[in-house]
Amino acid sequence: MKIGNLIVKDGALLAPLAGVSNRPFRVLAVKAGASMTYTEMVSSEGIIRDQERTKEMMVFKNDEQPLGIQLFGSNPQTMEKAAAITVKEFNPDVIDINFGCPVKKVVNKNGGSAVLKDLQLTEDIIKGTVQGAGETPVTIKIRTGWDDANPVFEKVGEIAQRAGAKAVALHARSRAKGFSGNADWTAIKKLKEAVDIPVIGNGDIKTALDVKKMIEETNCDGVMIGRAAMGNPFIFNQINHYLATGELLQRPTISEKIGMARIHAQLMKEQFGEERGAVMMRRFLGWYVKGFRGASELRPILFQVSTIEEIDRVFEDYLNGKYDFSQVQPPDDTNGGLNPLRTQ
């Protein structure tokens, strides 16, 4: 797939994920084979006001690239200025505009998916951002519309193309749907038919098989993965392997998952410091142990860690059988039957 002059290799893109797609997770995703990553959404207002917390979220290195910095905002002039600052100070491969966020804090300021209610504003925001970004390609990420009664994705795709956007990612649900029901992949197919710029399909991909299915059903140019990658960077490797060979890789073992979680925790420490890193790591730990025997007993223990050493110790104890989860049935939908004490 080509986004402007940027070549993005086959495979899957890591979705922008607030509170999740920070540098440590992006590094792991790229190592595992993600073909592109995005920052968490950052506020255009925060950028032009030079807010430290906002700018902190925009820092990246080349081991996370190609990378898009995702901006949100509802004022075209602010978006233009923010895009120009983003290019000057950070120089990402892509600037992405968030037109999909359903969160009240963003929508109440007319940002995120609220913009989809006003197509003139949508166009002005894209034009402003393209203007500010100069040579850097601008992409957009949308939902199907504000609600199911008013799907606007095809119109927005056409507007984006006309306004100079170089790709459009579609989370195939309306804002009103939140994360409920199933993503409607037929919308991705319709968008692909409506525009010439690349279409990136998004919503409910859980496995490598789903990637192939989405590409076949929609003819999309790229796929983007959010929730299925959380605590599971392995998915990118699984996808690449499957697309290249048609064979499905074995699911990662318990010890491989723990190994990945430990590396992740170490990166969090390097990025955010010991205590903040450990606290921020807690939610990831909850995802990493999904499917472990005794996961629901293990989680409260992991959710209390405040150092990286503690994380290591809890996992050591778990692998050494210190916790007695013998009465607990393994869940049968994920790693059912896998022995948590198995080392490889």
Ligand X SMILES: Cc1cc2nc3c(=O)[nH]c(=O)nc-3n(C[C@H](O)[C@H](O)[C@H](O)COP(=O)(O)O)c2cc1C
176 near ligand X (CB under 6 A): no
Give 97 or 254: the residue with its C-beta nearer to ligand X: 97
Position among 3, 15, 159, 311 found at the interface with ligand X (CB under 6 A): 15
Write down the least CB distance from residue 196 to ligand X, Å: 23
202 near ligand X (CB under 6 A): yes
Three-state SS at 284: helix
* Segment near ligand X (CB under 6 A); pick from 43-51, 199-207, 258-266, 284-292: 199-207
Q: For residue 224, what are the β-bridge partners?
A: 13, 202
Please state, as a whole number, how many other Cβ atoms lie within 10 Å of the Cβ of residue 256: 14
100 near ligand X (CB under 6 A): yes
117 near ligand X (CB under 6 A): no
Give the number of residues in contact with ligand X, rule: CB under 6 A. Answer: 22
Omega cis (within 30) before 233: no
Q: Which amino acid is at 77?
A: Q
Which bin fits 61, alpha (ψ -120 to 50), beta or left (φ > 0)? beta
Cα angle for residues 49, 53, 56 (degrees, 5° grid): 105
Write down the least CB distance from residue 327 to ligand X, Å: 32
Structural tokens at position 325: 């989860």
Give 261 or 314: the residue with its C-beta nearer to ligand X: 261
205 near ligand X (CB under 6 A): yes
**How does DSSP classify residue 16?**
P
Closest CA to 123 of 134, 108, 138: 138
Residue nearest to ligand X (CB): 226
Please tell me the distance from the alpha carbon of residue 300 to that of residue 310, in angstroms, as a whole number. 13
Give 45 or 204: the residue with its C-beta nearer to ligand X: 204
Write down the least CB distance from residue 325 to ligand X, Å: 28
Give 26 or 293: the residue with its C-beta nearer to ligand X: 26
Give 178 or 336: the residue with its C-beta nearer to ligand X: 178
124 near ligand X (CB under 6 A): no
Residue with tokens 């006309």: 162
Residues in the chain: 344
Please state, as a whole number, how many other Cβ atoms lie within 10 Å of the Cβ of residue 111: 26
Residue window 267-296: x/- pattern of binding to ligand X, with contact defined by CB under 6 A: ------------------------------
Write down the least CB distance from residue 207 to ligand X, Å: 11
Give 98 or 136: the residue with its C-beta nearer to ligand X: 98
Sign of CA dihedral 162, 163, 165, 171: negative
20 near ligand X (CB under 6 A): yes
* Segment near ligand X (CB under 6 A); pick from 95-103, 114-122, 241-249, 261-269: 95-103
Catalytic hit among 1, 41, 101, 211: 101
Question: In angstroms, how far is CA 6 from the centroid of its own chain?
Answer: 19
Q: What is the DSSP string of 237-256?
A: HHHHHHHHHS-PPPPPPHHH
Residue window 53-72: x/- pattern of binding to ligand X, with contact defined by CB under 6 A: -----------------x--
Q: Is 220 a catalytic residue?
A: no
226 near ligand X (CB under 6 A): yes
Q: Helix, strand, coil shares of the chain as percentages rounded to 5?
A: 45, 15, 40
Name the site residues for ligand X (rule: CB under 6 A): 15-20, 40-41, 70, 98, 100-101, 141, 171, 202-205, 225-228
Catalytic residue IDs: 101
